[in-house]
Amino acid sequence: MPGFRNFALVAIAFGSVWLFANCGGGGGSPTADGGQNPATISVQRVFSGMPAFSQPVAMLQSPGDDSRWFVLEQAGKVRKFSNVSSASAAADFLDITGRVTSGGETGLLGMAFHPHFPADPRVYISYTQTDSTLGLVSRISEFSSPDAGATLDSGSEQIILTVQQPESNHNGGNIAFGPDGFLYIGFGDGGGGNDQHGTTGNGQLLTTLLGKILRIDIDGPAPYGIPATNPFSGHALCGANGSGPASCPEIFAFGFRNPWRWSFDRQNGELWVGDVGQSAMEEIDRVTRGGNYGWRCFEGTLATGMTCGTTAGFLAPVAAYGRSVGATVIGGYVYRGSAIPALAGRYVFGDFVTGRIFQIASSAQPTVTVSGGLSTGLGISAFAQDRNGELYVVSYSGQLYRISG
């Protein structure tokens, strides 16, 4: 499954978590996380009449439309269904299973609707593929809807950006449009362990797109434009294979290990990233333009001792936790709904391996040490947010849940 540290952990996780993820959400109250006075929450199964999805990794709604949900299945399908409690069937929105390399941490990993969809029929898809020349690559591609948003035409693909992947893990893969209208893209460090590609690791290497959050302008000149305020705008594009001769202009922020799931605060536009750790700590970062978030010099707040270039200017995580709490962070959302007033303005996130859900104040200053959390028994692969700001949980075993008070 995407987003995890290594395949051995995936096997362990499936042995200890996935087997009981079908048991339902579980309730109960979280314990205090870093003295942040958490709200009491629970998770409740929703859309229980739906057949289980196949290894779902994301769930979202299209702009301005709360009548449907879209669920990404890792093997290469985007499924759609009506947003009613009695929903009992899903249909294909897009099927590209024939071109997706899937398994472990590879697959169909992200999707972003154009902000004006369906008036603008473009949708962006993030997936991995085995290229006959480059080997395993991550692709960001544009697809179009030929029928006013009912489906996407699989034959309409226009490849926007390609990144060569030296290993099969740490692909990141989340994509989303920011409040500025630009497309943001997250990639891991290229995989393996300890970011061993290059003398200082890809996370700190500015001539590669690996280990970065990117920002591009899909309305710019083909294949994409670079926002003028990107840290390295003006340099040659790196999107043909993921590297270039100078600092890549696509880079928005760097120093990440595997930014699997992240989101924007719909109220103030802040970017919150869950960065999956190596062997000691998981971290949550509040990301700003040009920021360096430390990997491979730091894992969470711990210095790794690995050669990584200069150690100045790193930005500490907003929150971190160790192996007694969890082992694979799943980034979530700042809650901006109305159903749980005590949760308002708090950032909600989780852990795949332990199935715990955590919350911290969105105003938290580095670094909250996370503990406790709500135990759910779910293999949490992603969170989702509806048009009203309410939050949902995607279980990798195929079921969907809503966070309730």
pLDDT in tens, 184-243: 999 999 999 999 998 999 999 999 999 999 999 999 899 999 999 999 999 999 999 999
pLDDT of residue 314: 93
pLDDT of residue 18: 29
Compute the average pLDDT of residues 294-304.
96
Integer CA distances (angstroms), 131 to 108, 128, 134, 137, 165, in order = 15, 9, 5, 7, 11
Residue 17: pLDDT above 70? Answer: no
**Residue 108 near residue 123 (C-beta atoms within 8 A):** no
pLDDT of residue 36: 57
At residue 333, what is the residue type? Y
pLDDT of residue 9: 36
Q: Are strands 251-254 and 259-264 parallel, antiparallel or unpaired?
A: unpaired
pLDDT band at 311 (very low <50, low <70, confident <90, very high): low
Compute the average pLDDT of residues 86-108.
97
Of all residues in the chain, the percent with pLDDT exceeding 70 is: 91
pLDDT tens digits along 70-80: 999 999 999 99
φ/ψ of 63, rounded to 5, equals: -60, 130
Residue 10: pLDDT above 50? Answer: no
